[in-house]
Amino acid sequence: MSVTFSEFFEIVRRQVPGAEAVNGDKAALISEVVSDSRKVVPGALFCCIKGETSDGHDYARAAEERKACALLCERPLESRLPMVIVPSVREVMADVASEVYGHPADKLLVAGVTGTNGKTTTTYILRNLLQAAGIRTGLLGTIVENDGFTERDAERTTPESCVVQGQLAAMVRNGCGACVMETSSHGLELGRLKGMRCDIPVFTNLYPEHLDFHKDMENYFQAKRLLFTRCVKPGFRGAANAEDPYGRRLIEEFPEGLRGFALEEEAFARVKEWHTALNGTEMAVEIKGLDAPLRLKSPLVGEFNVWNVLCAVTALWGRPGMDEGTVQRGVESIPQVPGRLERHVLPNGACCFIDFAHTPSALRKVLSTVRGLTKGRVVSIFGHGGGRYAMNRPELGRIAAELADRVIVTMDNPRDEDPADIAGMIVEGIKERGGTEYQVILDRKEAVCRGLGLLGPNDVLVVSGKGPEKYLQIGSVKHPYNDAETVDEWCRRA
């Protein structure tokens, strides 16, 4: 799809009657919309966004040199390109991109997942269920972006709105019938999801996080709520956590659009019984209208993954092709989610789990889950990022000392801090708890290999903090490194 500059100007004027068009070729054909000058291609509209650390207006010349055909900006610029001037580029960019790309969200079944915890895993489960029903499905998330043909590492949870629209358009071109995406509170509040409308909005839970940005929990909730008020199609049908107070608020506000799911309370879908082990989970789900509980086997581990499976099944239940057999096959074949309690089985039968947990609450949840399933010892390896909340470091040490039999303290993106100083603060917490064997090995690869070498057949190693990341940031330099690759390499040599 494409539009002329004149058509583009009319799109903007429908939103901003006072928008001004300046100079250039009014017949210029716009085929792409970008906000990063490095990604400009011939025929692109370059949107000059003001960010926290940079201003896109400063890169207009670079965009022109890369053959951009027009500019969307907030002030007149010295450029030969035709430009449209508006008070806020962000406010109009999404709708312009949607128009240029032919309204791709309207051609896909779109599921958007928001909440504090569980977004990434839930999107993977949703995608697997949809594909089990024969629907090619794209994915936009924290870990990867998949357009139905190409998969690449994600740069952020929710990209800029023009990127979202471009990715949706690529999914349509590649034969996708659906898209599943994570929708962050930042992305919702900053308008990155304008122009994207969901058929299946999903709410997992809400816990204190990002309050430096949102200030308080009510503001945080209102940002999440935007998914259900601004980013849905008429007649949407999604799911919300009926045991979360904010989830109940959403269900009460949208009783026709949201189904509740729960482990203990009455809801549209409720887990009657479940059992989890190191190799997966079995669960029985009672669903309104279903005569007998739906019995599911999942390769994912832990109570929080019971929630994630339940959430995805509730969101999709009853849609075309989503019968009992399809749901059972889809749940049974869920792939390991990179860095989300990602299981690796060692040659001697021991297990290693790689997880993104980097806060005290997340580390406690992961170690508690593993502790309850392990017949042997639990070994915990982690560090803490430089420039992050330093008061968490002793608490991380205390939690690891409480729940693990042995702790190895290492580095985790020290950035501009001395990794030895970070490790020392973690060790303070370990010593406060007392009674747990520990050591400091700052080289993360060496630390992981040392931990793997300690395991007997019934032992478990938890490597936490980095999850799927493929680098270690030391100073301003990102060095190639990945926990899963280190584990796989060790297993090949063992």
pLDDT digits (tens, 9 = 90+) for 4-34: 988 899 989 998 988 998 876 777 899 999 9
pLDDT of residue 134: 97
pLDDT of residue 155: 80
How many CB atoms lie under 10 A from the CB of residue 7?
A: 16
Structure-token pair, residue 205: 């839970």
Confidence tier at 349 by pLDDT (50, 70, 90): very high
State the average pLDDT over residues 440-444: 98
CB contact at 8 A, 33 and 22: no
State the average pLDDT over residues 48-62: 90
pLDDT of residue 420: 98
Pairwise CA distance, residues 292 & 270, whole Å: 12
CB contact at 8 A, 468 and 143: yes
pLDDT of residue 195: 80
CATH (residue range 3-100): 3.40.1390.10
pLDDT of residue 345: 96
How many CB atoms lie under 10 A from the CB of residue 39?
A: 15
**pLDDT(156) > 90:** no
- Measured between its terminal Cα atoms, the distance across the chain in Å is 54
β-strand partners of 20:
85
Q: Which CATH architecture has domain 342-493?
A: Alpha-Beta Complex (3.90)
Pairwise CA distance, residues 295 & 282, whole Å: 7
pLDDT of residue 306: 97
Q: Do domains 3-100 and 104-332 have the same CATH topology?
A: no
pLDDT of residue 450: 98
Angle of CA points 329, 334, 338, to nearest 5°: 175
pLDDT of residue 209: 67
Residues of the chain with pLDDT > 90, as a percent, come to 84
Comparing 253 with 435, the larger pLDDT belongs to: 253
CB-based burial label for 118 (10 Å; 0-12, 13-18, 19+): buried
**pLDDT(275) > 80:** yes
Q: What's the maximum distance between 2 C-alpha atoms anywhere in the chain? A: 75
Decide the pairing of beta strands 70-73 and 460-464: unpaired
pLDDT of residue 210: 64
State the average pLDDT over residues 65-91: 94
pLDDT of residue 24: 66
pLDDT of residue 402: 97
Confidence tier at 324 by pLDDT (50, 70, 90): very high
Topology (CATH) of 104-332: UDP-N-acetylmuramoyl-L-alanine:D-glutamate ligase (3.40.1190)
Confidence tier at 52 by pLDDT (50, 70, 90): confident
pLDDT of residue 192: 85
pLDDT single digits (tens) 355-413: 999 989 889 999 999 999 999 999 999 999 999 889 999 999 999 999 999 999 999 99
Strand, coil or helix: 128: helix
**pLDDT(309) > 80:** yes
Calculate helix-pair angle for 161-173, 89-100, nearest 10 degrees: 10
Pairwise CA distance, residues 304 & 113, whole Å: 16
State the average pLDDT over residues 195-215: 84
Nearest C-alpha neighbor of 56 from the set 35, 32, 87: 35
Q: Which uninterrupted H or E stretch holds 12?
A: helix 5-15
pLDDT single digits (tens) 400-432: 999 999 999 999 999 999 999 999 999 999 999
State the average pLDDT over residues 147-151: 94
Nearest C-alpha neighbor of 96 from the set 209, 14, 204: 14
Pairwise CA distance, residues 235 & 419, whole Å: 52
Structure-token pair, residue 425: 């603060």
Nearest C-alpha neighbor of 227 from the set 260, 196, 262: 196
User: Which residues, in sequence order, are CB contacts of 145 under 8 Å at separation 6+?
Assistant: 139, 151, 152, 153, 154, 159, 167
Q: Break the chain into its structural domains and give their ranges.
A: 3-100, 104-332, 342-493
**pLDDT(187) > 80:** yes
Q: Which uninterrupted H or E stretch holds 98?
A: helix 89-100
Pairwise CA distance, residues 353 & 342, whole Å: 5
Rg, Å, the chain Cα set = 24
pLDDT of residue 28: 82
Confidence tier at 303 by pLDDT (50, 70, 90): very high
Confidence tier at 274 by pLDDT (50, 70, 90): very high
Confidence tier at 56 by pLDDT (50, 70, 90): very high
